[in-house]
Amino acid sequence: MIKKGNTNQSRRDFLKGSLVAGGAGLALGVAGCAPKVAETPVAESPASSPSFMTKPAVIKEGDVKETLSADIVVVGAGVCGLMAAYTAAKAGAKTILLEKSEKFNARGGHNAALRSKIQLEEGLDYDPARVVAELTKWANNNVDVGQEMAWAVNHSAIMDELIDMAKESGLEVMRWGNDVPDLFYPEYKTVHMFGGMDQNILAGMLEGAAKKAGAEFYYSTPAEQLVKDDSGRVTGVIAKDAEGAYKKFTAAKAVILCTGDYGNNPEMIQYYCPRAAQVDANVYAPPVNTGDGQKMGLWIGAAMQKQEPHTPMVHNLGAAPFSGNPFLRVNIEGKRYENEDVPIPLMANSAQLQPGHKTWTIYDSTFADDLPKMGTSFSRTNMMSDFTTMGMEGAIESGSLIKVDTLDELATKIGVPADALKATIERYNELVGKGVDEDFGKNGEMMTAIDTAPFYAAYNSLALLVVLGGLDVNSKFQVLDPDHKVIPGLYAAGNTAGNFFANDYPVIVPGLSHSRAWTTGRLAALEAIK
């Protein structure tokens, strides 16, 4: 029998016997529409071990229709795999890239750097070691600092190369961000966007460069199993082509797994990161990130990263304007529950602790004057623009932003007890008068009274982007077994690799996830061709 809403299930509970059913758990689409908590169907019947760990029957040689050979086989054409293929091919290695979809995949558009040539021209020159120290603090030291330093010292030169490539293609590289390194949660002005907020443009550029360098691309060819020889070395991978025939791709030097994360594999989510299921939507599309690289690694004896639970990247994406601002936030009991002056991943944490995971950001008609008091940060708006006005109109239409004339109406519309909401607002206004947040310790300068109609409630929609947890790798991106021994011939990079993030996605370096993907794709390829 299927049980609904396994929101508090821990990994231990899972091991005790629950098994997540199929792929129906997470809603797909853009967050921010009707407030609705995702429910993950869970089978009540006990299971001895999660099915994703069960090694499938080995594909027999006789079932393989064709064998193709290369030095390097890259699996997955996200920005990580595209960079790995480009790097290997450019260095002269015979390179094959296998991709499950009909084309490469990309989303978002922010790419971080600390000291690109554009930043240096702007007078920004962030110290990589200082930033790594901040990232490590954010992760409670539960990461491989060597891997983070490898990113920090190598990515800027790669960014410069991408900037030059973009220039040659006539693409503009845009900059965005907040330069506030001295905040409690520091933030660095790191974002570079290639031709606009669309990572497909950068991915297309990398695909072109990889093909020009000689890499062969096999789209609609999902890899299914790794091949190992008697010595324990990974020597290739078997994939299924568009006609359903098995093809074997041998790798004289290495297979590099760049298949992304497992955010669309409910069973793996329940096992490694149950919190990632407590969201309104999963916005990774198409849902190709089913943990294939991690699974293929596990089946041939690789280990997953030791740090658990894995790190969910949950943002209030597509949400109503100002829901990331530190205005008053309330839960479904109409109660305030936090110091609202936190970055969005941390805002998601406290929201997930609230009943039903539903929360609202409340403000009044003076919001435009209040915005500049909110400070600058990744998720905050500190001034009005045509874009913001349009966003508010759209959000009111979609129901993620409520606008009414009385607090009673507001309470009714968002389904919270009116008395409790009014008492919370009365207390909040009292604290605004005092200029001191005696209840939650927020900076008094960010507190603004809620006393002038119309009143607004913005739904804090929680969207899962990716889950950051992967195979155990060392700082050279070689995949390790449970005894911490290198599995020869196998590398993992980007979101397929572990040990880079812990606790939460650190938005102090916006665009880090993409930057980490293409940097580690490059470093893994360089190591593999040695």
Cβ of residue 507: shortest distance to ligand FAD, in angstroms? 10
Measured from the CB atom, the residue of 255 and 330 that comes closer to ligand FAD is 255
480 three-class SS: strand
CA-based angle 527:194:211, to the nearest 5? 50
Strands 2-3 and 95-98, how do they pair? unpaired
Cβ of residue 353: shortest distance to ligand FAD, in angstroms? 24
How far apart CA 257 and CA 348 sit, in angstroms, is 30
Measured from the CB atom, the residue of 155 and 336 that comes closer to ligand FAD is 155
Binding site for ligand FAD (CB under 6 A): 75-81, 98-101, 104-105, 107-110, 222-223, 258-260, 283-284, 288-289, 292, 465-466, 494-495, 511-514, 517
Measured from the CB atom, the residue of 268 and 332 that comes closer to ligand FAD is 268
Measured from the CB atom, the residue of 9 and 307 that comes closer to ligand FAD is 307
Measured from the CB atom, the residue of 107 and 335 that comes closer to ligand FAD is 107
Cβ of residue 418: shortest distance to ligand FAD, in angstroms? 36
The residue to which tokens 């009116």 are assigned: 418
In 10 A of CB 35, how many CB atoms?
19
Residue type, 475: S
Cβ of residue 193: shortest distance to ligand FAD, in angstroms? 8
The reply to whether omega before 222 is within 30° of 0 (cis) is: no
Displacement of CA 283 from its chain's centroid (Å): 10
What single-letter DSSP state applies at residue 473?
B
Cβ of residue 528: shortest distance to ligand FAD, in angstroms? 16
Measured from the CB atom, the residue of 255 and 342 that comes closer to ligand FAD is 255
Please give the helix or strand (H or E) that residue 131 lies within, else none.
helix 128-138
Cβ of residue 420: shortest distance to ligand FAD, in angstroms? 35
Measured from the CB atom, the residue of 309 and 469 that comes closer to ligand FAD is 469
How far apart CA 218 and CA 239 sit, in angstroms, is 10
In 10 A of CB 211, how many CB atoms?
15
Sign of CA dihedral 47, 51, 54, 57: positive
CA distances 171 to 81, 202, 205, 389, 489, Å, are: 22, 10, 10, 29, 37
Cβ of residue 501: shortest distance to ligand FAD, in angstroms? 10
Cβ of residue 260: shortest distance to ligand FAD, in angstroms? 2
Measured from the CB atom, the residue of 206 and 362 that comes closer to ligand FAD is 206
